[in-house]
Amino acid sequence: MNTEFFIARRYLRSKHRKIFSFSTIIAIGGVFIGVAALLITLSMMNGFQNELRRRILGGTPHIIVRRYFNQPLTDYEEIMPKLLQYSFIKAAAPFTIQKSIIKFKTQFDGVVIKGVDAESEKNITEIEHKIVDGIFELAGGCVLGVELARGLKAGVGDTLIVASPFGEQFGLLPRAKKVVVKGIFNFGYYDYDALIMYMDLKDVQSLFAMDNQVSGIELRVDDVYKTPNYSKILERDLGYPYRAQDWIETNHSIFAALKVEKIITFIVLTLIILVAGFNIVGVLINMVKKKTKEIGILRSYGFTSRKIMRIFIFSYRSFLYRL
C-alpha cells in the first residue's frame, strides 16, 4: 500500500482526532455565507434583468425605422420591401403613434394610441398572447391595457369615445370616434398596461387626418442582442432623413438605471468575495498551524515536502468522500 495513502487513512480513522474546532467552524461558516450571498445576489440580478427584458420585448419592436424629428412617412410602402431583403429582418409592419383622450361614461384618461395592422402586428410583438380578456381584433374596435381598463372601469364590449383634441375644420373643433373594446392585454409592464391602446391603422389615420401617412416601420430581427449593429447598417443604407432606433435605445432610461445598479452590485460582490477570500486564507493558515507537530515528525522520518503534501491531499479527499 502507498505510504502516503496509508498515513492519511490512519489519520482519518483515529478516534482521538477532532474533526472541527470552534475557530474552524467559524471560518468555514464565513466562507459559506459569503459564497451563498454571492450566488443569491447574482441569481436575483440576472433573474430580474431577464424578466424585465422579456416583458419589454413582449410589447416593443426590436427596431423602429423613422424619419428625423419624427416626421411622418409617406413612402413606407416602398421602403418595407427593401427592408425585408435583409437576411436578419424577419418581419416588418407600419404603425402610427398618437396621443389622445378617451372617455367612458364619466371617466376620462389620456392615452397613447398605436395604430397597427392586426395581422402584421402579431409577427412583431407578443400582443396576441398577452390578451387576458376578449380577443385581439381591431376592426371597428380597440384593445386596451389592463391598468387603463381598470382606470376607465371599462370591459370587453363597452363603447369608448376617442377624441382628437384639435381638428383642422373650423379652427379648434375636435374629432371624435366611437370604438368598441374587443380585448384587454396585460404585458406585466405598467407603462404599457396603463397608457397604450391599440386601434386599426386605417381608423387612426382617418381620426387624425393623416391620409396614408404612418409614424414609422416596426421590425423584428433574428437576434435582439445585435440590434445596435443592425440599426447602424440600416441607417447607413437608407441614408438621411431615415433613422433606425433599436429597443435598447428606446428604453435607454431603464437600462441606464440597471447599469448603475450593476456597478453598485459589482462593488458589493467584490467586498463579499474579499471577505470570503480572507476566510479561506484564515482556514488554511489555521489548519497548517494545527498540523505543525505532525509535519515536524514526518520530516524527521525523512518525508519530503511533496510526500507530506500528498498525505494532506489524500486525507482531505477521503474526508470529503465521507461527507
Q: Count Cβ atoms below 10 Å from residue 20 Cβ, excluding itself.
A: 9
Q: pLDDT tens digits for 259-283? A: 787 788 778 777 877 877 777 677 6
Inter-CA distances, 116 with 1, 39, 190, 279, 304, Å: 80, 44, 21, 60, 80
Q: How confident is the model at residue 168 (pLDDT cuts 50, 70, 90)?
A: low
Higher model confidence: residue 202 or residue 294? 202
At 90 the three-state DSSP class reads strand
State the pLDDT at residue 40.
81
Q: How confident is the model at residue 21 (pLDDT cuts 50, 70, 90)?
A: low
Q: Which one-letter DSSP state was computed for residue 173?
A: P
CB-based contact 64:79 (threshold 8 Å): no
Q: How confident is the model at residue 20 (pLDDT cuts 50, 70, 90)?
A: low
Q: pLDDT tens digits for 115-167? A: 998 888 888 888 888 889 888 888 888 999 999 998 888 888 888 988 876 65
DSSP 154-216: --TT-EEEEEESS-STTTTPPEEEEEEEEEEE--S-HHHHTTEEEEEHHHHHHHTT-TT-BSE
- Reply yes or no on whether the pLDDT at 320 is more than 50: no
CB-based contact 207:177 (threshold 8 Å): yes
Inter-CA distances, 177 with 77, 147, 164, 165, 174, Å: 27, 22, 9, 12, 10
| Rounded distance between C-alpha atoms, residue 17 and residue 28, angstroms | 19
The three cell numbers locating residue 250 = 428606446
State the pLDDT at residue 218.
92
Question: Percent of the chain having pLDDT more than 90?
Answer: 8
Q: Count Cβ atoms below 10 Å from residue 283 Cβ, excluding itself.
A: 17
Q: How confident is the model at residue 95 (pLDDT cuts 50, 70, 90)?
A: very high
State the pLDDT at residue 308.
76
State the pLDDT at residue 185.
92
State the pLDDT at residue 143.
92
Q: Is 158 exposed, middle or buried (0-12, 13-18, 19+ CB in 10 A)?
A: middle
Helix (H) / strand (E) element for 41: namely helix 22-59
Domain-wise residue ranges, the chain = 3-12+21-51+257-318, 62-250
- Reply yes or no on whether the pLDDT at 17 is more than 60: no
Higher model confidence: residue 241 or residue 295? 241
Query: How large is the average pLDDT for residues 12-19?
Result: 56
Which residues pair with residue 141 across a beta bridge? Answer: 180
Query: How large is the average pLDDT for residues 62-72?
Result: 87
Helix (H) / strand (E) element for 286: namely helix 252-290
Output helix, strand, coil percentages for the chain, rounded to the nearest 5: 55, 25, 25
State the pLDDT at residue 122.
87
- Reply yes or no on whether the pLDDT at 5 is more than 80: no
Higher model confidence: residue 285 or residue 220? 220
Average pLDDT, the chain: 80
Query: How large is the average pLDDT for residues 171-194?
Result: 82
pTM: 0.69
- Determine phi and psi for 222, rounding to 5 degrees: -80, -25
| Rounded distance between C-alpha atoms, residue 243 and residue 240, angstroms | 7
Closest CA to 296 of 308, 282, 283, 285: 308
Higher model confidence: residue 32 or residue 2? 32
CB-based contact 164:118 (threshold 8 Å): no
